[in-house]
Structure 1
């Protein structure tokens, strides 16, 4: 297979769109005047080997679990993957193409501003993807750069077409219908969120991406390592208040861990370190969620989904749970006890 690996700007994308892919057209890796950078590895002329299937790869950040990516690539029909990000460069596409393998090509778009999300050549690349992966970084940039753009529409259309999507860290943070946006420029910790759940540090967002089975979900990542159960409980309470719905569910995923969701909503965990997906399901409003006061929210069921578990997202039922527990927040202090 002919392999190319180069950084291109708008001119190269135009050439690729016209089918002139045999010549490497390179530009510097700095931000282009069009607000994005483009990288490619593999051969765009290679026929797509298989059929795509709907699937979601929900990663908690950290290192990749190879089994999870092999599963995802198979559902991409071993075809073309597009990686979207708003920082960094082409290191993920190299890892995916060279180490995971099994794809014809990987293209990366790195966004530097909002205008790029309406660029015709960017949209051409995204619409040609068999699978789309959203990298980590800063979810606030994704919301500010992509929400309400043609790229936003293209991402939702990709999912409706039954093609795989995935995200890690900040890329997972935006996949739920409700999201912690980190729009204040920081990353709120559990202690701060529990102490002031209505404060300016808890910046929530909604009505961005539309994923199957995640219409009432808010996600979080780097979960156990960064002690994020408390803040996810706050995110769930805020989403329930803002939406007026009592069925909001929180899904937290540990580092080096992936929750792989099939087209029918069945999901399993792959992890490098025995990590979990954490299911937070209060199914009601918080007892106290008011300006200037700490959170009061008791008797919240928490379920661990491990490698031997199966999660059914169509009803949020878990077979063979790794653990069950009950969380309570009293005067902003989190308590967790086994159930």
Structure 2
């Protein structure tokens, strides 16, 4: 059971609201007897939905461009309050500057708005921020705005893009990443997001929102792939990627600071190491040596224990966020892990990199790959160097042998 909001009703239902699994209408009816059905004329389906908390017309003097990029990679489940505050601060927003925080999603409601904007259950803007609230207004935000963008037409809409273009921070909510690939890729919205990234406007995402932040995305166009089936057949139908086919160009948004990476969420709670190693294996380019053929057909990057242009990925547990920042020209991109003080999980981040290519990687054939490096970050003090993949000691080497993961108890 989630405990993100103090009231018992909100504590149970707000995570579902943020994830888009429950409407506010359903929330209002919760616990009451169902009314007799009424037959009404069908209403037109809106092109998009827009919700605002705060003053969207307030003057904003926070910078519209910044010297270095900032990303929040969040693993789903309960949101990490301090990660949202970090995005606000990295945007140069301070009390008196104003600032617009825009949440985008393909389904769901405006449930993020009060959580990010207000400081407590009484919906105040106090500088004394209660647990389970972000307190954005007290930090300088003048508005939190949510756009539900459920179609290609909506993603090309001028009003939608005008709202996103004014953002000082953008956050991609959870839901279904296949919606983001189907509805947003190749649209005006993608270009708006790329324009913001070129200005280093901070960007974050959780769960499905996290999944679309890599150079390579697990697009999940069909059912969600399982570790067991992925290792038994690394090309089975539920393993779909963006770009498709895999390529070094053409991925959805593909932030430059996150090049060569793929991400996965809900990592340990859903036992996703096996499928994640399979995903990364699929990115490894085929090669032929005197000892035989290695890699995966369709792969585009080498496997190696060194270098910053190799196949690699980051798996993030629930109630966990990785704060990624650029540090200036010629300096590495670095990351720190944060979680909530009240978390009941280990809230770990796993950095996964094959040191050698797969020895068996073919359709309808169990995967075999050895010496996959796994580094584990489970504290909020260590700084990880994403550029050269250092800062956390090796946790363990992992193997997939004939479709079976070793060790199986990796977490």
TM-score, length of structure 1 as denominator length: 0.86
Task: Give yes or no for contact 1:31–1:37 (8 Å, CA) kept in 2.
Answer: no
Q: Indicate yes or no: 2:111 matched with 1:111.
A: no
Q: Give the Cα–Cα distance (whole angstroms) in 2 for the partners of residues 49 and 67 of structure 1.
A: 23
Deviation per residue, 1:141-178 (Å, 9 max, x gap):
00000111111111111111111000000000010011
Task: Give yes or no for contact 2:320–2:348 (8 Å, CA) kept in 1.
Answer: yes
Task: Give yes or no for contact 1:178–1:218 (8 Å, CA) kept in 2.
Answer: yes
1:226 match: 270
Question: Unaligned 5+ residue runs, structure 1?
Answer: 1-29
Deviation per residue, 1:49-72 (Å, 9 max, x gap):
533642100000011222222111
- Alignment partner for residue 322 of structure 2, among 259, 279, 282? 259
Q: How big is the shift at 1:33?
A: 4.9
Q: Give the Cα–Cα distance (whole angstroms) in 1 for the partners of residues 381 and 398 of structure 2.
A: 23
Task: Give yes or no for contact 2:216–2:254 (8 Å, CA) kept in 1.
Answer: no
Q: 1:255 to 1:31 in 2, by over 3 A?
A: farther
Which residues in structure 2 correspond to 1:128-167 (within 5 Å)?
Answer: 128-167=166-205
Q: Give the Cα–Cα distance (whole angstroms) in 1 for the partners of residues 312 and 266 of structure 2.
A: 18
- Alignment partner for residue 271 of structure 1, among 334, 339, 342? 339
Which residues in structure 2 correspond to 1:1-339 (within 5 Å)?
Answer: 33=45, 35-51=47-63, 53=66, 54-78=69-93, 79-98=99-118, 99-100=133-134, 101=136, 102=139, 103-184=141-222, 186-206=223-243, 207-241=251-285, 242-246=298-302, 247-264=310-327, 265-272=333-340, 273=343, 274-306=346-378, 307-319=380-392, 321=393, 324-336=395-407
Q: Give the Cα–Cα distance (whole angstroms) in 1 for the partners of residues 145 and 355 of structure 2.
A: 41
Deviation per residue, 1:184-213 (Å, 9 max, x gap):
1x1111111111111111111121112132
Q: Give the Cα–Cα distance (whole angstroms) in 2 for the partners of residues 49 and 205 of structure 1.
A: 37
Point out the more displaced range, 168-177 or 270-279: 270-279
Deviation per residue, 1:281-332 (Å, 9 max, x gap):
114421111011011011111001222321111222124x4x6111100011
Q: How big is the shift at 1:47?
A: 2.5
Q: Give the Cα–Cα distance (whole angstroms) in 1 for the partners of residues 299 and 46 of structure 2.
A: 37
Q: How big is the shift at 1:34?
A: 5.4
Q: Which has the larger radius of gyration?
A: 2
Q: How big is the shift at 1:262?
A: 1.3
Q: Give the Cα–Cα distance (whole angstroms) in 1 for the partners of residues 212 and 203 of structure 2.
A: 12
In angstroms, what is the RMSD of aligned CA positions?
1.8
Q: How big is the shift at 1:94?
A: 1.7
Question: Unaligned 5+ residue runs, structure 2?
Answer: 1-41, 94-98, 119-132, 244-250, 286-297, 303-309, 328-332
Q: Give the Cα–Cα distance (whole angstroms) in 2 for the partners of residues 278 and 298 of structure 1.
A: 17
Q: Give the Cα–Cα distance (whole angstroms) in 1 for the partners of residues 182 and 323 of structure 2.
A: 27
**Greater share of strand residues, 1 or 2?**
1
TM-score, length of structure 2 as denominator length: 0.71
Q: Give the Cα–Cα distance (whole angstroms) in 1 for the partners of residues 357 and 117 of structure 2.
A: 45
Determine helix, strand or coil for the equivalent of 1:69. Answer: helix
Q: How big is the shift at 1:32?
A: 6.4
1:18 match: none
Deviation per residue, 1:221-269 (Å, 9 max, x gap):
0001111111110110112243421111110111000000112211100
Q: Give the Cα–Cα distance (whole angstroms) in 1 for the partners of residues 235 and 265 of structure 2.
A: 21
Point out the more displaced range, 237-246 or 158-167: 237-246
Point out the more displaced range, 267-276 or 42-51: 42-51
Point out the more displaced range, 323-332 or 80-89: 323-332
